[in-house]
Amino acid sequence: MHFPLLTTTILLASFAAAVPSPSPNVNLEPRQQQQAAIQTITCADYARLANYTAIGGNATLRAAFLQASPQGTDPTRAILDRATIEFKAKNLMFDGALNAQCGNLSTIASTEVNTNFSQGVIAGWKVVAPTGAEIGAGREVWCIGIILVMYAGFGFSL
């Protein structure tokens, strides 16, 4: 393929014009004092996060919690996920000062959540067996059996 000199020059000039020019060095000065946010967590918050983390960490408890929640599965899933992320990000399980003040609520939560679940309660909600579809395949088996008998009868008649 042949490119004329003018086409090549225009192409290279467009690339040269597209290169950004260096901007002057602007020294920005902060106008307000930035202070680190002081994260104080109460024992009640620690207990709530520990309970939700214990529930979210076990697939059986998580499924029962999602099924028992009156809010629906999406908002409830978000609660469990957010609590687990916050619990791990703040490293609450290994915070010595918080555990000295409140007790090791993460260990207590994991045992008490299992105890409550065995009593049919999860996070204050009663766990009930799912209702709806009939368990068993009585009608389906009968229909398939009749179709097989009819098919076999038609085959023997030929």
Per-residue burial over 88-98, b if 16 or more Cβ lie within 10 Å, else e, is eeeebbebeeb
How far is the C-alpha of 76 from the C-alpha of 84, rounded, in Å?
13
Return the number of other C-beta atoms located less than 10 Å from residue 3's C-beta: 9
Give the pair of three-digit tokens for residue 65.
């919690």
What pLDDT digit, counting tens, does each position of 58-79 carry?
888 898 888 888 888 888 899 9
pLDDT at 52: 92
pLDDT at 70: 85
Return the domain boundaries, the chain: 43-126
- pLDDT lower than 50: segments of the chain: none
Strands (E), the chain: 121-122, 125-126
In the block, residue with structure tokens 């309660």: 121
pLDDT at 81: 92
Of 120, 109, 112, 108, the C-alpha closest to 64 is 120
